[in-house]
């Protein structure tokens, strides 16, 4: 509760929290917010630019936001040049009917937040295959944002477990676990990701790849956490209340669970929030170079892989929007993390 | 019968490459149903001895027997956990600040037998009543109670599973005089009502005079004198014991100098007024009166 109060006082952190909440909410209900399915391609709209939304027009007697239809011509370099077709006017409607989807696996529906009756609307533009980038970002952030949470959570669990054991028991067990953790910390991070990924077959299903990425990233991420937890456990096990618990006959694992790990909570919550972006970035990096989530499945990383060539960025700058989402998420998590760190720091509570 | 006996117990710590002999060949014996006190200045190894008895420190050498069972062996650890409890000096540090009094006592209660929350509640209330606290304390957090109250809760936790020996490691040092007095009264009542053995560790000789039945005086890891309280207080024999009594009355004549310890000979010889050549040898036990022994070469004959 104390922590929440601090966060509410910190306007920037509150904004970050709300932004993140919104992003995760949109990812959770991606099909509702999306205009099209993530793999719905349309060769008529290859590299279509973001739609210009007009608030109203007296000339066309349209007094609600609308878009014009799009046509293109082929220029001298055989590239499509899109322009608005002023004869076609599509008003933007809310809660329109489009493709079917299920929410949490049940309740079939086809209501979407917004859309147009005919033609197509790409509010953030389309990619090479004419797929809506906005919809793909929504579907992709489902994967990317959840990998951040799941990966950081798994790494923290491993770190808490091994760090708690190492710190509490000390001696040989501590030595073994810490040398083991150093093995993961000394190798260059990115090469280790690649090496681990390479040790699995390339043609896995998307669920398998998802799990694989989570496992790879958390295998590499638990070591620093476990070292800090170990340090805390080392000092906590010398406290009188742990001695008292031992003297009353409580088992070692019960003591770790009840009296050691809960005291690391303020660190854990901060570390968790600060670690999430690195998992999102890890997934993005893997997908960017084609070792992560595979097409046509979307993730923020593999959406960006189309932006690898300078020509694409020059001609179709809207394909950088997924990068903007990654940036936003990373900044929000870091702002929130440092606010949390300040909030749980006992020295600041006195002020 | 001796409920607990240590035999030539040695606990050494390594510090900057040197061995610190915290406990160096200690033989103590605790008679059942008595309050046995262990007195000595800070850093003389009292608490280390307590922690070793509880199995938290591994002894370098020697044995600890609880009713004839060697509890320094790892396999006999359950014997310690079932029978020996400890109360620490600072009650605020000996409770996990995250749990209520009830949670702490319930946790101690359910270590050996499974009990539902409602069954446990009755027993916890009974345990609290025994230390003169009522149910109001049950759902409080440790920081919401006063030092004296919390120390009572600590004693209640120590007693909750009916141990046969309770070690009290300076239980009144962080309490004010009146609260300390109440705790002492409580302990005496408990000794009489439950026939428990207490090992009371303190540096406060006046307090020990009030409470204990049998005294051990410890100095730098060694027992220098022991005996029944009345005899020992009436006739202290070891120069260090005398000094300790003097300092308790603020009658101290010479302040103890920091000294290079000679672990082989008498540990006190550096500060001893009556040092002789014989003090370079390990002092042998001299039984002055029945049950009253002193480790010194130059004892006054009365």
Asked whether residue B263 carries a pLDDT value surpassing 70, the answer given is no
pLDDT at position A172 is 93
Indicate whether A293 and A172 sit together in one domain.
yes
Are the C-beta atoms of residues A133 and A303 closer than 8 Å to each other?
A: yes
Indicate whether A71 and A177 sit together in one domain.
no
Q: A263 contacts in B (CB within 8 Å)? A: 98
Average pLDDT over residues A190-198: 85
Q: CB–CB of B90 and A259 under 8 A?
A: no
To the nearest whole Å, the CA of A312 is away from the closest chain B CA by 57
Cα dihedral A329→A331→A337→A338 (10° resolution): -170
Burial group, residue A184, by CB count within 10 angstroms (0-12, 13-18, 19+): middle
Structural domain contains residue A6: no
Among candidates A245, A249, A262 on the partner chain, residue whose Cβ is nearest the Cβ of B98: A262
* Residue A64: partners with Cβ closer than 8 Å, 6 or more residues away: A56, A91, A92
To the nearest whole Å, the CA of A251 is away from the closest chain B CA by 8
SS3 A74: strand
For residue A54, the cross-strand partners are: A66
Q: Which two tokens stand for residue B201?
A: 């560790």
The Cα A129–Cα B206 span in angstroms is: 91
Q: What's the pTM?
A: 0.83
CA-wise closest residue to B278 among B293, B296, B262: B296
pLDDT at position B260 is 64
Structural domain contains residue A173: yes
Asked whether residue A347 carries a pLDDT value surpassing 60, the answer given is no
Are the C-beta atoms of residues A147 and A214 closer than 8 Å to each other?
A: yes
Are the C-beta atoms of residues B229 and B291 closer than 8 Å to each other?
A: no
Asked whether residue B88 carries a pLDDT value surpassing 80, the answer given is yes
Indicate whether A251 and A149 sit together in one domain.
yes
CA-wise closest residue to A278 among A225, A340, A230: A225
Q: What is the largest CA-CA distance in chain B?
A: 68
Q: CB–CB of B157 and A241 under 8 A?
A: no
Indicate whether A330 and A187 sit together in one domain.
yes
Average pLDDT over residues A137-141: 92
pLDDT (tens digit per residue) in A285-341? 888 888 888 888 889 988 998 888 888 888 889 999 999 999 999 999 999 988 888
pLDDT at position B252 is 66
Q: Which residue of B has its CA nearest to A246?
A: B81
Q: CB–CB of A247 and B81 under 8 A?
A: yes
Mean pLDDT score of chain A: 88
Task: State how many domains chain A has.
Answer: 2
To the nearest whole Å, the CA of B49 is away from the closest chain A CA by 14
Average pLDDT over residues B234-257: 77
To the nearest whole Å, the CA of B85 is away from the closest chain A CA by 6
The Cα A309–Cα A316 span in angstroms is: 11
Chain A contact for B82, CB < 8 A? Answer: yes
To the nearest whole Å, the CA of A244 is away from the closest chain B CA by 6
pLDDT at position B46 is 87
Indicate whether A140 and A249 sit together in one domain.
yes
Average pLDDT over residues B167-187: 85
Q: CB–CB of A244 and B98 under 8 A?
A: no
Q: Which two tokens stand for residue A235?
A: 């000092």
Q: CB–CB of A258 and B88 under 8 A?
A: no
Inter-CA distances, A307 with A288, A289, B125, B139, Å = 9, 11, 69, 60
Indicate whether A178 and A281 sit together in one domain.
yes
Q: Which two tokens stand for residue B145?
A: 């109670």
* Residue B208: partners with Cβ closer than 8 Å, 6 or more residues away: B37, B39, B200, B202, B215, B229
Chain A contact for B94, CB < 8 A? Answer: yes
Average pLDDT over residues B150-170: 89
Indicate whether A164 and A312 sit together in one domain.
yes
Q: Chain A: which residues have CB within 8 Å of chain B? A: 239-241, 243-250, 258-259, 262-263
pLDDT at position A335 is 92
Indicate whether A78 and A159 sit together in one domain.
no
Structural domain contains residue A281: yes
Last residue of a domain, one of A94, A121, A148: A121
End-to-end C-alpha distance for chain B, whole angstroms:
31
The Cα B289–Cα B279 span in angstroms is: 22
pLDDT at position A187 is 81
Asked whether residue B100 carries a pLDDT value surpassing 60, the answer given is yes
| Percent of chain A residues topping a pLDDT of 70 | 97
CA-wise closest residue to A17 among A284, A329, A267, A282: A329
pLDDT (tens digit per residue) in A97-132? 888 888 877 788 888 888 888 888 888 989 888 899
Mean pLDDT score of chain B: 85
To the nearest whole Å, the CA of B51 is away from the closest chain A CA by 9
Last residue of a domain, one of A95, A121, A147: A121
Q: Which residue of A has its CA nearest to B104?
A: A245
One DSSP character per residue, A231-299 reads HHHHHHTTSHHHHHHHHTT--HHHHIIIIIGGGGHHHHHHHHHHHHHHHHHHHHHHHHTTSSSPTTS--
Are the C-beta atoms of residues A307 and A319 closer than 8 Å to each other?
A: yes
pLDDT at position B237 is 85
Query: Where is pLDDT greater, at B252 or B24?
Result: B24
Structural domain contains residue A263: yes
Band (pLDDT 50/70/90 cuts) for residue B300 is low
SS3 A181: helix
A152 phi, psi to nearest 5 deg: -65, -40
Which of A11-15, A86-90, A111-115, B283-287 is predicted least confidently?
B283-287
Q: Tell me the H-state helices in chain B.
A: 46-53, 77-83, 101-109, 117-130, 147-159, 177-194, 205-211, 229-234, 239-248
Chain A contact for B14, CB < 8 A? Answer: no
Domain housing A99: 50-121
Last residue of a domain, one of A63, A87, A121: A121
The Cα A287–Cα A297 span in angstroms is: 11
Q: What is the largest CA-CA distance in chain A?
A: 86
End-to-end C-alpha distance for chain A, whole angstroms:
17
The Cα A156–Cα A225 span in angstroms is: 7
Superfamily of domain B2-295: P-loop containing nucleotide triphosphate hydrolases (3.40.50.300)
pLDDT at position B302 is 44
Chain A contact for B106, CB < 8 A? Answer: no
For residue A89, the cross-strand partners are: A68
pLDDT (tens digit per residue) in B198-210? 999 988 888 888 8
CA-wise closest residue to A116 among A135, A94, A138, A137: A94
pLDDT at position B269 is 76
Query: Where is pLDDT greater, at B298 or B24?
Result: B24
Among candidates A240, A248, A258 on the partner chain, residue whose Cβ is nearest the Cβ of B93: A240
pLDDT at position A350 is 40
To the nearest whole Å, the CA of B287 is away from the closest chain A CA by 35
pLDDT (tens digit per residue) in A205-236? 888 888 988 998 898 889 999 999 999 999 99
Band (pLDDT 50/70/90 cuts) for residue B14 is confident
Indicate whether A107 and A214 sit together in one domain.
no
CA-wise closest residue to B151 among B133, B171, B168, B136: B171
The Cα A15–Cα A18 span in angstroms is: 5
Q: A243 contacts in B (CB within 8 Å)? A: 51, 54, 56, 86, 88, 94
| Percent of chain B residues topping a pLDDT of 70 | 94
Q: A258 contacts in B (CB within 8 Å)? A: 96, 99, 107
Structural domain contains residue A12: no
Band (pLDDT 50/70/90 cuts) for residue A348 is low
SS3 A151: helix
Q: B88 contacts in A (CB within 8 Å)? A: 240, 243-244
Domain ranges of chain B: 2-295
Indicate whether A116 and A243 sit together in one domain.
no
Among candidates A239, A247, A262 on the partner chain, residue whose Cβ is nearest the Cβ of B93: A239
Give the relative orientation of helices A189-198 and A206-236 as an angle to the nearest 10 degrees.
130
Q: CB–CB of A248 and B107 under 8 A?
A: yes
């Amino acid at each position: 509760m104390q922590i929440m109060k601090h966060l509410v006082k910190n306007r920037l952190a509150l904004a970050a929290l709300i932004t993140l909440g919104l992003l995760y909410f949109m990812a959770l209900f991606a099909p509702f917010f999306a205009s099209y399915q993530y793999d719905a391609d349309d060769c008529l709209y290859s590299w279509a630019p973001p739609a210009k939304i007009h608030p109203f027009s007296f000339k066309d007697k349209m007094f609600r936001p609308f878009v014009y239809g799009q046509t293109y011509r082929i220029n001298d370099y055989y590239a499509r040049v899109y322009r608005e077709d002023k004869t076609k006017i599509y008003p933007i409607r809310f809660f329109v009917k489009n493709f079917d989807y299920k929410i949490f696996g049940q309740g079939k529906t086809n209501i979407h937040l917004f859309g147009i009756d005919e033609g197509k609307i790409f509010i953030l533009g389309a990619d090479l295959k004419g797929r809506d980038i906005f919809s793909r970002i929504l579907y992709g952030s489902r994967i990317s944002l959840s990998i951040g949470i799941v990966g950081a959570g798994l790494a923290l669990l491993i770190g808490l477990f091994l760090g708690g054991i190492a710190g509490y028991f000390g001696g040989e067990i501590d030595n073994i676990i810490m040398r083991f953790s150093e093995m993961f910390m000394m190798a260059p991070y990115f090469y280790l990701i690649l090496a681990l990924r390479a040790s699995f077959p390339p043609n896995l299903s998307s669920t398998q790849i998802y799990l694989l990425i989570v496992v790879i990233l958390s295998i590499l991420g638990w070591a620093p956490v476990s070292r800090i937890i170990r340090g805390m456990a080392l000092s906590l096990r010398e406290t009188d209340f742990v001695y008292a618990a031992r003297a009353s006959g409580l088992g070692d694992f019960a003591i770790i669970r009840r009296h050691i790990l809960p005291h690391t909570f303020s660190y854990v919550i901060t570390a968790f929030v600060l670690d999430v972006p690195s998992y999102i970035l890890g997934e993005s990096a893997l997908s960017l170079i084609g070792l992560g989530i595979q097409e046509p499945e979307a993730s923020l990383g593999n959406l960006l892989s189309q932006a690898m060539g300078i020509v694409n960025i020059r001609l179709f700058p809207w394909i950088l929007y997924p990068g903007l989402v990654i940036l936003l998420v990373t900044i929000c998590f870091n702002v929130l993390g440092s606010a949390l760190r300040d909030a749980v720091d006992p020295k600041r509570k006195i002020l | 019968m001796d409920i607990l006996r240590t035999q030539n117990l040695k606990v050494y710590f390594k510090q900057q490459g040197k061995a610190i002999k915290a406990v160096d060949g200690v033989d103590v014996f605790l008679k059942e149903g008595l309050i046995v006190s262990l007195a000595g200045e800070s850093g003389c190894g009292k608490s280390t001895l307590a922690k070793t008895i509880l199995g938290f420190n591994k002894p370098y050498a020697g044995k600890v027997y609880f009713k004839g069972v060697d509890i320094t062996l790892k396999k006999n650890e359950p014997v310690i956990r079932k029978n020996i409890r400890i109360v620490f000096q600072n009650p605020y540090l000996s409770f996990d600040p995250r749990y209520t009094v009830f949670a702490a006592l319930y946790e101690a209660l359910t270590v050996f037998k499974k009990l539902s929350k409602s069954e446990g509640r009755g027993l916890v209330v009974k345990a609290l009543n025994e230390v003169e606290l009522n149910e109001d304390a049950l759902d409080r957090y440790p920081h919401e109670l006063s030092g004296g109250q919390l120390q009572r809760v600590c004693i209640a936790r120590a007693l909750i599973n009916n141990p046969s020996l309770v070690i009290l490691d300076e239980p009144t040092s962080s309490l004010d005089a009146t609260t300390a007095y109440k705790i002492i009264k409580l302990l005496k009542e408990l000794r009489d009502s439950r026939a428990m053995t207490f090992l009371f560790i303190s540096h406060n000789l006046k307090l020990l005079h009030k409470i204990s039945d049998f005294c051990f005086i410890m100095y730098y890891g060694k027992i220098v004198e022991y005996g029944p309280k009345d005899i020992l207080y009436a006739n202290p024999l070891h120069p260090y014991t005398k000094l300790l009594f003097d300092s308790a009355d603020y009658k101290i004549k010479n302040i103890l100098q920091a000294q290079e310890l000679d672990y082989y000979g008498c540990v006190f010889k550096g500060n001893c007024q009556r040092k002789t050549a014989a003090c370079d040898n390990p002092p042998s036990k001299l039984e002055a009166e029945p049950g009253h022994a002193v480790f010194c070469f130059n004892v006054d004959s009365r």
